[in-house]
Amino acid sequence: MTRKRQTQIEALASKTLMHAQAYQLPVNLPKVAKSLDIDLIGFDFGDEITGCMLRSDDGRVRIGYNDQLPTRTVGRFAIAHSMGHHVLEHFEYMARPEVSANYYTIFGISALDHKSRSEMEQEREANAFAAALLMPADLVLVAIQKCANPADYLRADLLLSVADRCQVSPQLMALRLSTLCALW
């Protein structure tokens, strides 16, 4: 993804949060869904499927999320990712089921072999949107400042504290800080 596209996606995520009056941590996803006129529906999709975005003929959008996932943070990222497909107008399919490999293209290359380059690009874009939605740059940086003095930035639990503040996994927070060039 180009830096220009990343910037566009960051702006769209911010706009989405502002419009929903949800620009605070942790981001209230049901509130964002309501503002986007999306129905959120919990469902047991089994072990493989994390969620699914569905569009009906009348244009109504529903996001089914797997309510049996092992952690809440995985579920939140899955919902935000599906919202990304919606906001970024990835509308080729009426149903877009998600599997874990879609969130970590670098780990899931073999699983994604059957996907076209444009499909993979869309997964990356949805991930970028989800990261920007759940971890808005300004709010994350303020959260870091609140959690620690600069002298304590190497404290092992700082990442955990900020991730907890956003209700995302520490891995996601680390990736986000790297994307924001906030690590080094």
Contact residues: Zn ion, CB under 5 A = 98, 102, 123, 126
Q: Tell the smallest beta-carbon distance from residue 77 to Zn ion (Å).
A: 11
Task: Report the C-alpha gap between 25 and 51 in whole angstroms.
Answer: 23
Task: Report the C-alpha gap between 49 and 71 in whole angstroms.
Answer: 14
CA-CA distances (angstroms) from residue 31 to 37, 127, 153? 10, 20, 32
List phi, psi (to 5°) of 38: -110, 135
Q: Tell the smallest beta-carbon distance from residue 79 to Zn ion (Å).
A: 11
Q: Tell the smallest beta-carbon distance from residue 151 to Zn ion (Å).
A: 40
Q: Closer to Zn ion by CB, 114 or 156: give it.
A: 114
Q: Closer to Zn ion by CB, 73 or 102: give it.
A: 102
Q: CA geometry: angle at 95 spanning 56 and 44, to 5°?
A: 105
Q: Closer to Zn ion by CB, 16 or 102: give it.
A: 102
Q: Closer to Zn ion by CB, 102 or 167: give it.
A: 102
Q: Tell the smallest beta-carbon distance from residue 148 to Zn ion (Å).
A: 34
Alpha-helix runs per DSSP H in 51-116:
72-87
